[in-house]
Amino acid sequence: MTKADNMLSILWMLRTGRRKTAKQLAEALDIHVRTVYRCIDSLCASGVPIVADSGPNGGYTILSRFADSPLLFDAEEQKGLVHAAIFAREAGYPHSDALNRATNKLKRYANDEQLTALERHGLGLSVIDLPIDGAYQSHLQWLEEAAGQGRTLEMDYDKGRGEPSSSRLFDPYGIVYWKGHWYAVGHCRYREEVRSFRVDRIRGLRQTDEQFDRPASFSAKDYLLGQLLRDSADHADWETVRIQAQEEVLNELCRHWLFGHALMERQPESATFKLERSTLSTYVPYFLMPYGTALRIESALLVRRMREAGAKLLAHYEDMLPSDAKREDEK
């Protein structure tokens, strides 16, 4: 038998809960005792909690919590792991290499029928996302490791305003993936407050000897959502916007993160949203513009902003036209 077969056989024998000596294992598998030792070492290195007791009544056992846990995955669980690996890799998950190694183990020990099914399901799912460079993924790995170990990092961060990168000590509480971007959430020692930072704007990370304790009840996800989608109780400047359109158009609109979280009432051919007025002057008109005349908007403020945005867009492209083209348009 191969080493993998010997390891699996030893694992099954120890999962019975009975203490087994190396000699007993060797005799049962018809292998040398030294081979048993090597297999035990490999199992321990892979995370199996094997306990070795010395003495006349000694031998090998497995901790009960591992012996009681399921060892194998069924077909649906295997498919889910393969699909999760695809999603994670395309999203830039910092430990996608480890996840790929785990799914490769599934395929390595699968029979021909199982392997064919895994390959077929793997080819049946695709994810399109922006590729990330090596520095980006390296920063994600540093941040995730520091969050897990409670280690403070020194971070160089670009605010995106053309200013030089600023350096600060940062206690990462967690990383969050949101709409194609990774965010690091934690305590900024420069501002002395919890803040979020876009990982693609981080220009450098360095380890320090300082440690931190993450608040037990803190959720990086909830904090980030609270910053992106601020509660109306904290901001009085809101506008109620009712939009009429075909059901398919409204379904697409409600899937957007801003409109989906601002939805107040939904009918088959209308939707009512509560939006912060500052976004009506900046972001919302340009997002709605591609829908053209498919929308009927009931908000005088937003209609004026849409008209202003359209006029600016028209003027912008008219300035690009050469003089002879403008004369042709006038005719």
Kindly tell me if the per-residue pLDDT of 233 is higher than 50: no
Backbone angles phi, psi at 43, to 5 degrees: -65, -40
Rounded Cα gap, residues 313 and 278, in angstroms: 19
pLDDT at 129: 72
Give me the amino acid identity at 125.
L
Rounded Cα gap, residues 208 and 93, in angstroms: 24
Confidence of residue 173 (pLDDT cuts 50, 70, 90): very high
Facing residues of 117 across strands?
none
Residue 106 Cα distances to 4, 71, 72, 259, 271, angstroms: 13, 12, 9, 41, 46
pLDDT tens-digit series, residues 135-149: 888 999 999 999 999
Give the ranges where 150-235 is alpha helix by DSSP (H). Answer: 220-228
| The residue count for the chain | 331
pLDDT tens-digit series, residues 32-68: 999 999 999 988 887 788 888 887 778 998 877 665 5
pLDDT at 325: 58
229 touches 273 (CB < 8 A): no
Least confident of 77-86, 182-191, 241-250: 77-86
| Residue whose structure tokens are 């790995």 | 141
pTM above 0.85, yes or no: no
pLDDT tens-digit series, residues 175-197: 999 877 899 999 999 999 999 99
Kindly tell me if the per-residue pLDDT of 206 is higher than 90: yes
